[in-house]
């Protein structure tokens, strides 16, 4: 593991325009700030309300007033970041995964204090191609890589590939990981379904959720989140699925949502639950909000900056951030603010 002291500095990446929308208006003033790329992979929000944004070309944060890019951290050559995550058991640290392993930043509201990394042959991370990160309440880290799942418990590493004779975490890309309060971990893949297991000092209870042996309609999972401590939402290429139990197959515990139900697209990339209990779905054709089993959808014609929505994050004030293939959209008080490179 490598740890270095880092003093924050700014470097201009590109000229960005901020457009404010109320309904469909685009005639409001524009402001300039810095953003590495319009392609947004993940937005994570810390307990202070700072937005940490993983882009195709590096990391940037936004505290509500100032945009801070990190041009040399953590990736010195390739800057593509796939995932960001915070743990509930430790504060002031963000974990970052991408094309050059796993990195973490220790920070306070004013500065980056230090950073470290797990990458290269001297570490036990299965691969430096990291696609997903999750942390549980015990501060155990789960890293999805191109060669399987790496689990870090303090300084002890465990490699996991899926249920015996079903090594889906090795054979298919790991797309997302979620942890539940009851100890279950859900590692989603694109093509192999979901590996569900528990981990204390070893993996136990491993099983596979797939279209043959669960309520999932597709093995191609783009995202998984846990809501209300234990219930899971899955975004797939054939709609969204909601699962309310640890029981694998019983139909009563599964519910499906597709275009026929009002979802704007069956290709679901991201899901989030807001402070009012609404469920938001980011798709390839826009955003859908589920309220009391009724969908309402938003597209570029309503103010969204792009219809391909890769990530959704709920702010501490209840407003919603959408990371797209054409910048960032912020939805607050029924109005849109968009941040894009000119």
148-153 vs 141-145, strand pairing mode: antiparallel
Burial of residue 200 (number of CB atoms within 10 Å: 0-12, 13-18, 19+):
exposed
Query: 69-78, 120-129, 188-197 — which one is most confidently predicted on average?
Result: 188-197
For the segment 236-245, what is each residue's pLDDT rounded down to a tens digit?
999 999 999 8
**Is residue 184 predicted with pLDDT exceeding 80?**
yes
Q: How far does CA 70 lie from the centroid of its chain?
A: 19
Contacts with 92 (C-beta within 8 Å, 6 or more apart), sequence order:
106, 107, 108, 113
pLDDT at 16: 54
- As a whole number of angstroms, the distance between CA 277 and CA 290 comes to 9
- Is there a contact between 286 and 304 (Cβ–Cβ < 8 Å)? yes
- For the ranges 78-92, 170-184, 215-229, 265-279, which has the lowest average pLDDT? 78-92
- As a whole number of angstroms, the distance between CA 188 and CA 216 comes to 12
Query: 45-49, 122-126, 132-136 — which one is most confidently predicted on average?
Result: 132-136
Residue 93, domain CATH: 2.130.10.10
Tokens of 176: 């997302």
pLDDT at 35: 78
Q: How far does CA 112 lie from the centroid of its chain?
A: 22
Q: Where would I find the beta strands (DSSP E) of 109-259?
A: 111-118, 130-135, 141-145, 148-153, 156-160, 174-179, 184-189, 194-199, 203-209, 221-227, 231-236, 239-243, 254-257
- As a whole number of angstroms, the distance between CA 59 and CA 71 comes to 7
Mean pLDDT, residues 130-142: 96
Start-to-end Cα distance in the chain: 39
What is each CA distance from 319 to 270, 276, 315, 316, in whole angstroms? 16, 11, 5, 7
**Is residue 134 predicted with pLDDT exceeding 70?**
yes
Q: Percent of the chain scored above 90 by pLDDT?
A: 70
pLDDT at 65: 87
pLDDT at 341: 84
For the segment 27-42, what is each residue's pLDDT rounded down to a tens digit?
443 344 567 899 999 9
- Is there a contact between 101 and 133 (Cβ–Cβ < 8 Å)? no
Each residue of 214-226: b (16+ CB within 10 Å) or e?
bbbbbbbbbbbbb
pLDDT at 13: 41
- As a whole number of angstroms, the distance between CA 51 and CA 68 comes to 10
Residue whose C-alpha is closest to residue 132's, from 122, 120, 142: 142
- For the ranges 52-66, 72-86, 144-158, 306-320, which has the lowest average pLDDT? 72-86
pLDDT at 79: 66
Tokens of 305: 């900056």
pLDDT band at 18 (very low <50, low <70, confident <90, very high): low
Mean pLDDT, residues 61-75: 77
- β-sheet with 268-273: strand ranges across: 268-273, 279-283, 287-291, 294-298
Residue whose C-alpha is closest to residue 148's, from 134, 165, 131: 131
- As a whole number of angstroms, the distance between CA 92 and CA 102 comes to 17
pLDDT at 147: 97
pLDDT at 58: 86
Q: What are phi and psi of 114, to 5 degrees?
A: -165, 170
pLDDT at 17: 57
- As a whole number of angstroms, the distance between CA 284 and CA 268 comes to 7
Instruction: Print the domain residue range for 173.
Output: 2-341
pLDDT at 254: 96
**Is residue 339 predicted with pLDDT exceeding 50?**
yes
For the segment 274-298, what is each residue's pLDDT rounded down to a tens digit?
999 999 999 999 999 999 999 999 9
- The number of domains in the chain is 1
Torsion of CA 61, 67, 71, 73, to 10 degrees: -30
């Amino acid at each position: 593991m490598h740890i270095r002291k880092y003093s924050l500095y700014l470097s201009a990446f590109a000229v960005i325009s901020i457009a404010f929308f109320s309904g469909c208006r685009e005639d409001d003033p524009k402001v300039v700030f810095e953003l590495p790329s319009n392609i947004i992979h993940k937005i994570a929000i810390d307990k202070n309300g700072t937005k940490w944004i993983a882009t195709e070309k590096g990391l940037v944060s936004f505290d509500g007033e100032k945009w801070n890019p990190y041009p040399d951290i953590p990736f010195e050559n390739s800057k593509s970041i796939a995932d960001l995550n915070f743990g509930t058991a430790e504060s002031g640290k963000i974990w970052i995964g991408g094309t050059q392993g796993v990195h973490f930043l220790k920070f306070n509201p004013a500065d980056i204090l230090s950073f470290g990394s797990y990458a290269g042959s001297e570490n036990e991370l299965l691969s430096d191609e990291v696609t997903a990160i999750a942390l549980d309440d015990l501060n155990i880290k789960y890293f999805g890589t191109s060669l399987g799942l790496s689990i870090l418990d303090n300084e002890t590493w465990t490699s996991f590939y899926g249920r015996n004779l079903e090594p889906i975490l090795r054979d298919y890309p790991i797309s997302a990981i979620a942890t539940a309060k009851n100890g279950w971990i859900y590692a989603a893949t694109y093509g192999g379904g979901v590996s569900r297991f528990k981990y204390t000092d070893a993996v136990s209870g491993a099983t596979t959720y797939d279209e043959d042996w669960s309520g999932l309609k597709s093995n191609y999972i783009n995202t998984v989140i846990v809501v209300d401590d234990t219930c899971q939402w899955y975004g797939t290429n054939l709609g969204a699925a909601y699962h309310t139990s640890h029981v694998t197959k019983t139909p009563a515990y599964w519910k499906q949502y597709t275009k026929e139900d009002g979802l704007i697209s069956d290709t679901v990339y991201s899901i989030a639950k807001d402070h009012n209990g609404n469920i938001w779905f980011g798709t390839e054709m826009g955003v859908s909000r589920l309220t009391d089993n009724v969908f309402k959808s938003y597209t570029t014609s309503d103010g969204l900056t792009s219809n391909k929505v890769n990530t959704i994050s709920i702010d501490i004030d209840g407003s919603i951030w959408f990371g797209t293939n054409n910048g960032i959209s912020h939805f607050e008080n029924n109005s849109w603010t968009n941040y894009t490179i000119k």
